Chains A and B, each alone.
Chain A
Amino acid sequence: MKGTGERIGVVCALLVLIFTAFAWRLIHLQILKHDYYQEIAAEKHDTRQVIQARRGRILDRNGEELAVNVPVQMVYADGSHIQKPAAVAGVAAPFLEMTPEELTEKLTTKSKYLVIRKGVSEEKAQDMIRALEKANLHGLYLQEGSVRSYPNGEMLCDVLGYVDHTGHGADGIEKTCDDALTGQEGFRWIEHDRKGREIVVYRGQEQLPENGSDIRLSIDMGLQAIAEREVDAAYKTNHPASATAILADPNTGEILAMASRPNYDPNKFNQAKPEEMRNRAISDIYEPGSVFKIVVTSAAYNEGIVNDKTQIFCENGHFSYGGKIIKDHHGSGDLSIPEILMKSSNIGAAKISLRMKDQMFYDYVRKFGFGTRTGIPLPGEIPGQVIPPHRWDMLTKTRVAFGQSISVTPIQMVMAMSAIANGGKLLKPKLVMSKGEGSAELTEAPVAQVVKTESANYIANALEKVVGNQGTAPLARIEGYRVAGKTGTAQKISPHGGYLEGRYIVSFAGFFPVNKPRIMGIVIVDDAKLGETANYGGSVAGPVFAKIGEKAARHLDMDPEPTDSVSKQDSSTAAVSAR
């Protein structure tokens, strides 16, 4: 009996030992190695599912969509779920526009994440998944995404820019407002079963995405379409190297339209040439020519150096100064300030500049915003070039007075002319009205009071004569409205120094109605293929301005001014020219 008891004792002891070992192993696995195994299990089953934030839209001032998102799906394969690659390929290939053989080759993989095709339309992708489910096949999955679409194609391309393959803005507003447009992506921790399906019960931490804000621009697509059409027509007719037009509200600095040629389609940005992708309104510098006479005349008038009784002798068209001859297109004798602007006398402008101190003239040039970036929220803006007085030679001041020896951008010229139109306030160009639905409208304070209101009004009234019968731009006149403006015809600078013979950059900058300006516009045509005798700001850029202005007035429902005030424009011009 004793032997039996011992044996039982041994067996029991062995059992105790075995179960103790098991218990220890369990404790080891479940408690001591808990974190380690949990991590391995989590790696296998837990996934951090990214919830993409929707990129904000870009809208015009009236809510018209300029940039939207088109949902697409990315199809990827999980090789560990694919039992029969050929069968899966047979079902899925037609939806992916691939041959079954091609797809089979791709699906014969052990990779858990292999991108098969990007940019598959929502409809096709869902149809493919349904077809696979019907055939009880697994291994192909979808990942949501979207592509940026610009419904208007080439229109406004320079302002909108485009989005690169990473989904971030690469140019234009897409770039400068990228942070606001992108938003914040969300995530969700999920567990999935062997077939890759989410086990919703074990859904973990979740953070919803913050969609990007919609950006509302100051652009009016009605006006943009008008500007695009007329710039396009000028580009096709005159075959210039480039053509640019900007429309703005001179009272607020809001940019209403911005068009240039050549341009590109942001939907196919990878096919565009570099010269097509440049926003010429902010990144091209040019010598403004006679348009710049508004600076010297308004500055001199503002300082009391000239007044409405001043007469400047214009040397009958030939003025020898500093060893060089300054010429006028038409020789004149004594001219008043309005006449100097109307006849676009280089000699008159040069002589006014000589009455001013160098530093004073330079300060006015800078106060009008030249040599400084305007701060328009677009990438690639350049400040232009203004030579400081200590580097001037004897001729520089006289040249700057009529727009040579200085380089400006079209947007700078628009803002400078706006200062004349709005009573002397230099404004910062405003392109973004608001960011996000219901957000407050962004406001910009004037940068500076450049000249007194009285001086600005005097020059504005003088500029009205430019579009009169005796002025340089009668073709820029808009029927029914009093227009003020200035032409510019500047020889192109040669990259090898000096000027290019017979090649010009012509422009017209103007605003209307004169008494209460609502539209400020500039048209610049670079190197139109016209004869030297036909290539002038008044004959090339002026008519484009008039066509844009006429249609813009109709679009904005602007009431025509009383007939007598409009006809006064011509009679006053006649009176001036008779003097």
Chain B
Amino acid sequence: MSVNRRRTTNAIEVNFLARWLVIVFLIGLAGLFFVYLKNQQHAVGNQSRLVEAALREEEGRDEALKAQITSMTSRGALQHRLDDGYITLQAIRDTAIARVTPPASAEVDGVLRTASRDPESRFGPGGPQRAVNR
């Protein structure tokens, strides 16, 4: 009745176990990493939503301010202020203009530009009555 006990012993196959443990661990780790990434994705998405909203808000504010500036500096608004006496037109004398290049007339280059030919603006008060003799 002698029995070889060693033969009936169930040997623990460490290699096999370790392999599976590593696989399970890696799968678990991958799962956790996936969840972490998903959370990150949501967090970043949320952040980008907030940034987009802030950007839209700033753009809206910028446009509103631009529209306000346009309306306050429009020809009509300035004319009203001029009529009401809040602002005055100050002629720039020829002597106060430093020209880097000789003045070009619209006749030459076809460019429309605003210029004053008022006698006072060209010669100052008390100057010649007309810019050109007629």
Given contacts A62-B112, A200-B49, contact A153 B63 (CB under 8 A): no
Complex Cα gap A68–B70 (Å): 8
Shortest Cβ distance from B134 into chain A, in angstroms? 5
- B88 close to chain A: CB less than 8 A: no
Shortest distance from the beta carbon of B75 to any chain A beta carbon, whole Å: 5
Taking a contact as CB atoms closer than 8 A, the residue among B64, B71, B134 that contacts A480 in the complex is B134
A276, CB-defined interface residue at 8 Å: no
Contact of B18 with A by CB under 8 A: no
- Is there an interface contact between A149 and B49, defined as CB atoms closer than 8 Å? no
B75 touching A221, Cβ below 8 Å: yes
* A window 147-179: CB within 8 A of B: 149, 151-155
From 62 to 88 in chain B, residues with beta carbon under 8 angstroms from any chain A beta carbon are 63-64, 66-68, 70-71, 74-77, 79
Which of chain B's residues have a CB closer than 8 A to the CB of A144? 56, 60
Q: Which of A64, A146, A225, A554 has the most chain B CB atoms closer than 10 A to its own CB?
A: A554
Q: Please report which residues of chain A, range 191-244, place their CB below 8 angstroms from some CB of chain B when the two chains form the complex.
A: 197-201, 203, 220-222, 225
The smallest beta-carbon distance between B11 and chain A, in angstroms, is 33
Most chain A Cβ neighbours within 10 Å, of B56, B70, B115:
B70
Known: A121-B64, A563-B133. A557 touches B115 (CB 8 A): yes
Q: Contacts A152-B76, A155-B76, A554-B115 known; A122 to B67 CB distance under 8 Å?
A: no
Would A122 and B57 count as touching, CB distance under 8 A? yes
Interface residue from B41, B45, B64, B115 paired with A71 (Cβ < 8 Å): B64
Name the B residues within 8 Å of A42 (CB-CB): none
Complex contact B70–A556 (CB within 8 A) = no
Q: Which of A51-99 contact B (CB under 8 A)?
A: 61-62, 64-65, 68-71, 73
Report if A201-B49 is in contact (Cβ < 8 Å); known contacts: A64-B75, A225-B75, A556-B112. no
A70 touches B116 (CB 8 A): no
Q: Which residue of B lies closest to A202 (CB)?
A: B45
Contact between chains at A70 and B63 (CB < 8 Å): yes
Question: What CA separation (Å) do A480 and B134 show in the bound complex?
Answer: 7
Contact residue among A220, A554, A556 (Cβ-Cβ distance under 8 Å from B116)? A554
Given known contacts A68-B70, A71-B64, A567-B134, A200 and B46 CB-to-CB distance under 8 angstroms: yes
Contact string against B for A residues 554-579, beta-carbon threshold 8 Å, 1 for contact and 0 otherwise: 11111110010011000000000000
Bound Cα distance A154, B75 (Å): 11
How close is A304's CB to chain B, nearest CB, in angstroms?
35
Residue of B56, B79, B112, B117 touching A225 (CB-CB under 8 A): B79
Docked CA distance A210–B106 (Å): 37
Which residues on B sit within 8 Å (CB–CB) of A225? 75, 79
- Name the B residues within 8 Å of A153 (CB-CB): 74, 76-77
Specify which chain A residues have a CB less than 8 angstroms from the CB of B106 in the assembled complex.
Answer: 556-558
B42 interface residue per 8 A CB criterion: yes
Q: Specify the chain A residue showing the minimal Cβ separation from B121.
A: A554
Q: Are B64 and A123 in contact (CB under 8 A)?
A: yes
- B114 touches A (CB below 8 Å): yes
C-alpha spacing A417/B49, complex, angstroms: 61
Tell me which residues across on chain B come within 8 A of A64, comparing CB atoms: 75
Partner of A122, one of B41, B60, B76, B134: B60
Q: Tell me what chain B mostly uses at the interface: helix, strand, loop, or mixed.
A: helix
Cross-chain contact B42 with A201 (CB below 8 angstroms) = yes
The proximity string for B residues 27-62 relative to A, scoring 1 for CB distances below 8 Å and 0 otherwise, is: 000000000000001100110110000001100110
* B76 adjacent to A70 (CB under 8 Å): no
A359 is an interface residue with CB less than 8 A from chain B: no
Interface 1/0s, chain B 78-111, versus A by CB < 8 A? 0100000000000000000000000001110000
Whether B131 sits at the interface, judged by CB under 8 Å, is yes
CA distance A220 to B114 in the complex (A): 11
Contact A554 B117 (CB under 8 A): yes
Whether, in the assembled complex, B7 has its beta carbon less than 8 Å from a beta carbon of chain A, the answer is no
Contact of B71 among A71, A123, A149, A556 (CB under 8 A): A149
Q: Does B14 sit within 8 A of A, measured CB to CB?
A: no
Chain A residues closer than 8 Å to B113, beta-carbon distance: 557
Q: Which residues of A contact B114 (CB under 8 A)?
A: 222, 555, 557
* Chain B contacts for A151, CB-based, 8 A: 67, 70-71, 74, 76-77
Bound-state Cα–Cα, A203 to B115, Å: 56
Could you tell me if B67 and A69 are in contact, using CB atoms closer than 8 angstroms? yes
Give complex CA distance A124, B14 in Å.
70
CB of A155 within 8 A of CB of B75, answer yes
A479 interface residue (CB < 8 Å to B): yes
Bound together, the chains give a CA A557 to CA B118 distance in angstroms of 11
B17 in the interface (beta carbon within 8 A):
no
Once the chains are docked, how many angstroms separate the CA of A479 from the CA of B117?
A: 13
- Check: A316 CB closer than 8 A to any chain B CB: no
- Distance A559 CA – B109 CA, assembled complex (angstroms): 13
Chain B residue at smallest Cβ distance from A65:
B70
Determine the chain A residues whose CB is within 8 A of the CB of B132 once the complex forms.
Answer: 480, 560, 563
Distance of A313 from chain B, by nearest CB (Å): 38
* B77 surroundings in chain A (CB, below 8 A): 151-153
Q: Of all chain B residues, which has the CB nearest A203?
A: B45
In the complex the two chains form, what is the Cα distance from A385 to B47 in whole Å? Answer: 67
Say whether A560 contacts B131, CB under 8 Å.
yes
Q: Complex Cα distance A342/B81, Å?
A: 43
Distance in angstroms between the alpha carbons of A376 and B133 in the assembled complex = 41
Among A154, A200, A555, residue most surrounded by chain B Cβ atoms (within 10 Å) = A200
CB distance from A231 to the nearest CB of B (A): 14
Closest partner residue, chain A, to B80 (CB atom): A153
CB distance from A350 to the nearest CB of B (A): 38
Residue in chain B with minimal CB distance to A62? B112
Complex: chain B residue closest to A190, CB-CB: B49
Q: A residues within 8 A CB of B63?
A: 69-71, 122, 146
A154 near B76 (CB under 8 angstroms)?
A: yes
- A449 interface hit (Cβ, 8 Å): no
Q: Is the CB of B112 within 8 A of A61?
A: yes
Q: Which residues of A contact B71 (CB under 8 A)?
A: 149, 151
Say which residue of A62, A154, A479, A559 sits within 8 Å of B105 (CB atoms).
A559
Can you report 10 residue pairs joining A to B where beta carbons are below 8 Å apart?
A61-B112, A62-B112, A69-B67, A122-B64, A144-B60, A155-B75, A198-B49, A222-B114, A557-B106, A563-B134
Q: Beyond A70-B63, A200-B48: 6 further Cβ-contacts under 8 Å?
A: A122-B64, A151-B71, A152-B77, A198-B49, A203-B45, A567-B134
Closest 6 CB pairs of A and B: A200-B45, A151-B74, A152-B76, A70-B67, A122-B60, A557-B115
* Chain A residues close to B by CB (< 8 Å): 61-62, 64-65, 68-71, 73, 121-123, 126, 144, 146, 149, 151-155, 197-201, 203, 220-222, 225, 479-480, 554-560, 563, 566-567
